[in-house]
Amino acid sequence: MRPAPQQRYRTVESHDRAVVQMAPMEFGSSADASASAGPRYIKPGTNLRTDARMHMASSNGRSSNGSQGDSKLELFGFDSLVNILGLKRMVGEQAQASASTRDGENAGIAIGHPKETETKLDTMMGVFVPCLQNILGIIYYIRFTWIVGMGGVWQSLVLVAFCGSCTFLTTISLSAIATNGAMKGGGPYYLIGRALGPEVGVSIGLCFFLGNAVAGAMYVLGAVETFLDAVPSAEFFQESVTVVTNTFVNGTAAGNATTISTPNLHDLQVYGIIVTILLCFIVFGGVKIINKVAPAFLIPVLFSILCIYIGVFIAPRPNASKWITGLSITTLKDNWSSDYQRTNNAGVPDPNGALLGLYFPAVTGIMAGSNRSASLKDTQRSIPIGTLHATISTTMMYLLSVFLFGALSTREGLLTDRLLCAAVAWPSPAVVYAGIILSTLGAALQSLTGAPRLLAAIANDDILPVLNYFKAYEGSEPHVATLFTSFICISCVIIGNLDVITPTITMFFLLCYAGVNLSCFLLDLLDAPSWRPRWKLHHWSLSLIGALLCIVIMFMISWTFTVVSLALASLIYYYVSLKGKAGDWGDGFKSAYFQLALRSLRSMGANQVHPKNWYPIPLIFCRPWGKLPEDVPCHPKLADFANCMKKKGREIIVAPSTSIGFRSIVQTMGLGNLKPNIVVMRYPEIWRRENLTQIPSTFVSIINDCITANKAVVIVKGLDEWPNEYQRQYGTIDLYWIVRDGGLMLLLSQLLLTKESFESCKIQVFCIAEEDTEAEELKADVKKFLYDLRMQADVIVVTVKSWEADPDRSGGSKKDDPEVYRSSQSRIRTYISELKEAAERERRPLMEGGKQVVVDEQKVEKFLYTMLKLNATILRHSRMAVVVLVSLPPPPLNHLAYCYMEYMDLLVENIPRILIVRGYRRDVVTLFT
């Protein structure tokens, strides 16, 4: 449909996502394509499947509310670019606009996409603060001094560095995947699922959901335990007594038993259940309330840590505990080595397992930012920067704390005083008590908020029907998923033992971290065109080391927990494989299968085939001896003989002409997804010079056959001047983006940059728009789109006066028209006159190449005018370009092939190197990771 001339666009905001609709294209006549190419607005809450069916129905025929389209650039078959860009209501709905039942990704994630009116979060509040809040949690306050006392300073340093290396490598892999495109809701589940497939994504995603749910219980128990230690009078039940026996030296006890008090299990259960229920009520209030309240919890945490450091440096203060010696080299030496003792009636902890399993949850907050991916302004920038800064800063803080605590207190104080941090804090332990309680409650709130949304994201992908109860549609809160998460959290709170819960959390988180690293490793090995992360520090070896490190830590902590977690993930994977629905996300495994098949085919021709592996692949010469009758293209006995050697194969192509032979090749070539999807051919530059009158009809026939067979087309002009690998080019690669092509032109330009000849070139994208277009807003839209595609390019908006908008046109009789334009007009008029004379003489309809054609002289003039203006625009802006890429207009239905060749000649006139590109019904680039 013709766009409204008064179309306006609002200003582009920095947090807006791309707005270009790279939707599948339907081919046919130019008018039909125009009618189905317009962008559509999908209202919030619209059922996606219904909308997808409506889109497919509307794209298979004419628009329901109008006749055939009359686009001002209808020669190119689709709406002009200006009609597709600038519509901010389409932000985040690219997948929906191109939705079809084949795309499982669109069917799931878009349901839970945030509203456009939702306030987006920046790097600080959206990633850094949540990560910091989850990392600086209960373990640091009430378990870290005990870890230093058990493992000593040197083993504690190794422990912190070891776990920090694991999270640092995982952060690098996470950053690489997150910068490979726009992310939707689901956090690490979304990343793993899109890289390793729905089966792996769902299995690891559900385990990660359990880890987050159990982590909520850990934080609640930490807050309750701290509260009861600070206020013993709040206990309902009789307090329990723990006996701590010091280690043996030379076979004899080095000290007497020490009696300390710990909160009663029933008190932990009662208070834990109450706190969990209260937090669930807050979660039911919505994510907006949580986003406003949660950052306030971090301020007491940072203030309490500052108070701890101040207290450490001024210790010992009056009335200080006998164990606190102040910073002392002697104390540091005494605490340098390990000293494992019986504590909490739990036996002697394993030096490799217990400490590692107890400490690792303290560094498992690195996914907190990616869990908010749907609420971030810029995921490609915020996730790497925020997560990496949080990881490095907290790791350095833990390393420093090992030295400070090791030099501050005696071994007995480190092992017996669970709240040594509070005892040493300045000015009062109450500051640390408040910091612990608020930080743990804030972290619990984050877990109870993130876990239900993770479960809802898995359910919204519609892979497992059993999870349909947990779906959360757009604009609604995941209430059912929140209730289920609360049930799991309360069940773990009833256990009441923090030291039993933490290893369980560790396994689920490590499994997720290993999945992120393996996803990045697989994508690196595939080296697919769509894998273009912005993160420059990443390398496949780092991902592999990170994955191996995660697996090693899992087995070091506990063989039992590792086997149980892997078995659970395997059972979920098997169940998804049996009962789950297919999700075509373009995952890495499918790409691996494709590349494996491709490499296998290439390796077959690399060496001489062994006699055991030889197999006949016949190529039949149809007329080698003697001449068969004209109506017999091939001897039937010869075809039967070929079928004996190769069964169920169409190996014989018989064609009386080039166009018919090409049509046969297009239909029979390749196997499965290994069929060619793009046809590359040379532009017939010599057709007029050599008077090859059959070329126009053959050329048009080949293009139409490619469109019908759903093949992309690239026509190369100037092949003789194309540089070889030793001829380095300097300049620009200019793209004249006129219509939607699925991103093929953009992808081709990026592939050119990977060649040594063009690697020094820069890309310029020229957006062809009609006059009265707000060029600056259109330019900002395209720049944002290219940014989300990880493509570096300069954007230039060029306005072209359309045929209807030019009041001075006079049917091509203007005196200032260039000679090439007037020559084309003259040749076309002569050709049409000859056809008409022949038709009148033979008393038949107007025919060309055996086909009936229709001559619309006004349409011919319009198309010539469009090509003239476009050619002039290209010459004005790209005369010195290394190569130019421009959209290929489809041959109009029942149009003269000779006229089409004249259009094309006018388009490429005086342009030395040009690629004329036509996309097909699939996108070749995507905004999403």
Asked if residue 100 is part of any domain, the answer here is no
Rg (CA), the chain: 35
Q: Which residue has the higher pLDDT, 904 or 251?
A: 904
pLDDT computed for residue 29 by the predictor = 35
What residue type is assigned to position 792 of the chain? Q
Residues 523 and 625 in one domain: no
Q: What's the rounded Cα separation, in Å, for the pair 119 and 401?
A: 37
Q: Which of 499-508, 675-684, 799-808, 816-825 has the lowest mean pLDDT?
A: 799-808
Q: Which of 50-59, 216-225, 423-432, 598-607 has the lowest mean pLDDT?
A: 50-59
pLDDT computed for residue 301 by the predictor = 83
Average pLDDT over residues 356-375: 80
User: Measured between alpha carbons, how far is residue 413 from residues 148, 318, 632 in Å?
Assistant: 11, 17, 101
Residues 701 and 650 in one domain: yes
Q: State yes or no: pLDDT of 304 exceeds 60.
A: yes
Residues 579 and 630 in one domain: no
pLDDT computed for residue 274 by the predictor = 92
pLDDT computed for residue 414 by the predictor = 87
Average pLDDT over residues 706-713: 86
Contact 435, 300 (CB under 8 A): yes
pLDDT computed for residue 886 by the predictor = 92
pLDDT computed for residue 514 by the predictor = 92
Q: What's the rounded Cα separation, in Å, for the pair 101 and 115?
A: 24
Residues 644 and 577 in one domain: no
**Residue carrying structure tokens 């003269």:** 896
Host H or E run for residue 679: strand 678-682
β 883-887/914-918 pair status:
parallel
Residues 415 and 546 in one domain: yes
pLDDT computed for residue 546 by the predictor = 92
pLDDT computed for residue 118 by the predictor = 55
Give the residue from 588, 606, 631 where a domain finishes. 588
pLDDT computed for residue 100 by the predictor = 34
pLDDT computed for residue 320 by the predictor = 77
For the segment 141-188, what is each residue's pLDDT rounded down to a tens digit? 878 888 898 889 999 999 999 999 999 999 999 888 888 877 777 778
User: Measured between alpha carbons, how far is residue 150 from residues 243, 336, 416, 420, 742 in Å?
Assistant: 16, 10, 11, 14, 60
Asked if residue 856 is part of any domain, the answer here is yes
CB neighbour list of residue 46: distance below 8 Å, 6 or more residues apart: none
Our CA angle for 575, 672, 646, nearest 5°, is 120
Residues 317 and 363 in one domain: yes
Residues 289 and 438 in one domain: yes
DSSP codes, 605-631: TTSPPPGGG--------SSSSS---TT
User: Measured between alpha carbons, how far is residue 220 from residues 95, 121, 224, 481, 819 in Å?
Assistant: 39, 26, 6, 19, 82
Average pLDDT over residues 799-808: 64
CATH of the domain at 758: 3.40.50
Give the residue from 549, 573, 588 where a domain finishes. 588
pLDDT computed for residue 808 by the predictor = 57
Q: What's the rounded Cα separation, in Å, for the pair 562 and 568?
A: 10
Largest Cα separation within the chain, whole Å, is: 124
Q: State yes or no: pLDDT of 127 exceeds 50.
A: yes
pLDDT computed for residue 5 by the predictor = 40
Residues 547 and 425 in one domain: yes
Residues 576 and 682 in one domain: no
pLDDT computed for residue 241 by the predictor = 58
Q: What's the rounded Cα separation, in Å, for the pair 673 and 606?
A: 22
Q: Which residue has the higher pLDDT, 168 or 339?
A: 168
How many domains, the chain?
Answer: 2
Q: What's the rounded Cα separation, in Å, for the pair 366 and 710?
A: 44
Asked if residue 214 is part of any domain, the answer here is yes
Host H or E run for residue 170: helix 144-178
pLDDT computed for residue 24 by the predictor = 32
User: Measured between alpha carbons, how far is residue 635 from residues 172, 211, 621 in Å?
Assistant: 64, 70, 10
Give the residue from 534, 568, 588 where a domain finishes. 588
For the segment 65-78, what is each residue's pLDDT rounded down to a tens digit? 333 333 445 567 65
Asked if residue 84 is part of any domain, the answer here is no
Q: What's the rounded Cα separation, in Å, for the pair 276 and 284?
A: 12
CB neighbour list of residue 510: distance below 8 Å, 6 or more residues apart: 166, 360, 550, 551, 553, 554
What residue type is assigned to position 238 of the chain? Q
Structural domain span for residue 284? 127-241+259-588
Mean pLDDT comparison of 83-87, 810-814, 823-827, highest-scoring range: 823-827
CATH of the domain at 233: 1.20.1740.10
**Considering the entire predicted model, what is its pTM?**
0.69
Q: What's the rounded Cα separation, in Å, for the pair 657 and 665?
A: 12
Q: State yes or no: pLDDT of 343 exceeds 70.
A: no
Q: State yes or no: pLDDT of 925 exceeds 80.
A: no
Q: How confident is the model at residue 58 (pLDDT cuts 50, 70, 90)?
A: very low
Omega before 300 cis (within 30°)? no
β 248-249/678-682 pair status:
unpaired
Asked if residue 355 is part of any domain, the answer here is yes
| Both structure tokens of 839 | 């038709």
Phi, psi of 822 (to 5 degrees): -65, -35
pLDDT computed for residue 502 by the predictor = 67
Asked if residue 225 is part of any domain, the answer here is yes
| Both structure tokens of 331 | 């104390």
Average pLDDT over residues 337-355: 61
pLDDT computed for residue 731 by the predictor = 92
- Tell me the three state secondary structure of residue 257: coil
β 258-262/240-244 pair status:
antiparallel
pLDDT computed for residue 90 by the predictor = 29
Q: How far apart are the first and last CA of the chain?
A: 33
**Residue carrying structure tokens 């025919």:** 847
Q: What's the rounded Cα separation, in Å, for the pair 221 and 218?
A: 5
Q: State yes or no: pLDDT of 922 exceeds 90.
A: no
Q: What's the rounded Cα separation, in Å, for the pair 97 and 105?
A: 13
Average pLDDT over residues 877-892: 91
User: Measured between alpha carbons, how far is residue 244 from residues 341, 673, 852 in Å?
Assistant: 8, 67, 100
Q: Is 837 exposed, middle or buried (0-12, 13-18, 19+ CB in 10 A)?
A: exposed
Which residues make beta-bridge pairs with 418?
A: none
Mean pLDDT comparison of 117-131, 233-247, 371-385, 509-523, highest-scoring range: 509-523
Q: How confident is the model at residue 881 (pLDDT cuts 50, 70, 90)?
A: very high
Q: How many CB atoms lie within 10 A of CB 564?
A: 13
Which residues make beta-bridge pairs with 763?
A: 733
Residues 335 and 426 in one domain: yes
Q: State yes or no: pLDDT of 493 exceeds 70.
A: yes
For the segment 618-655, what is each residue's pLDDT rounded down to a tens digit? 656 565 445 556 666 666 655 655 655 555 555 766 67
Q: State yes or no: pLDDT of 26 exceeds 50.
A: no
Which percentage of the chain shows pLDDT scores above 70?
Answer: 71
Q: State yes or no: pLDDT of 349 exceeds 60.
A: no
For the segment 831-853, what is each residue's pLDDT rounded down to a tens digit? 888 888 888 888 888 888 778 88
Q: Which residue has the higher pLDDT, 327 or 504?
A: 327
pLDDT computed for residue 422 by the predictor = 85
Residues 264 and 361 in one domain: yes
Average pLDDT over residues 554-576: 88
Average pLDDT over residues 736-759: 84
Asked if residue 70 is part of any domain, the answer here is no
Q: Which residue has the higher pLDDT, 63 or 517?
A: 517
Contact 535, 175 (CB under 8 A): yes
Contact 246, 412 (CB under 8 A): yes
Residues 148 and 267 in one domain: yes
Contact 679, 711 (CB under 8 A): yes
Asked if residue 583 is part of any domain, the answer here is yes
Three-state secondary structure along 26-41? CCCCHHHHHHHCCCCC
pLDDT computed for residue 761 by the predictor = 93
For the segment 283-303, what is each residue's pLDDT rounded down to a tens digit? 887 666 776 776 677 788 888
Which percentage of the chain shows pLDDT scores above 90?
Answer: 12
For the segment 713-722, what is each residue's pLDDT rounded down to a tens digit? 888 888 878 8
pLDDT computed for residue 914 by the predictor = 92
Burial 703-721 (b: 16+ CB within 10 A, else e): bbbbbebebbbbbebbeee
Q: Is 897 exposed, middle or buried (0-12, 13-18, 19+ CB in 10 A)?
A: buried
β 252-253/248-249 pair status:
antiparallel
| Both structure tokens of 651 | 């190996």
CB neighbour list of residue 169: distance below 8 Å, 6 or more residues apart: 517, 542, 543, 545, 546, 549
> Residue 510's closest CA among 471, 548, 464, 455?
548
Q: How confident is the model at residue 112 (pLDDT cuts 50, 70, 90)?
A: very low
- What's the mean pLDDT when you consider all of the chain? 75
Q: What's the rounded Cα separation, in Å, for the pair 23 and 36?
A: 11
pLDDT computed for residue 845 by the predictor = 86
pLDDT computed for residue 294 by the predictor = 66
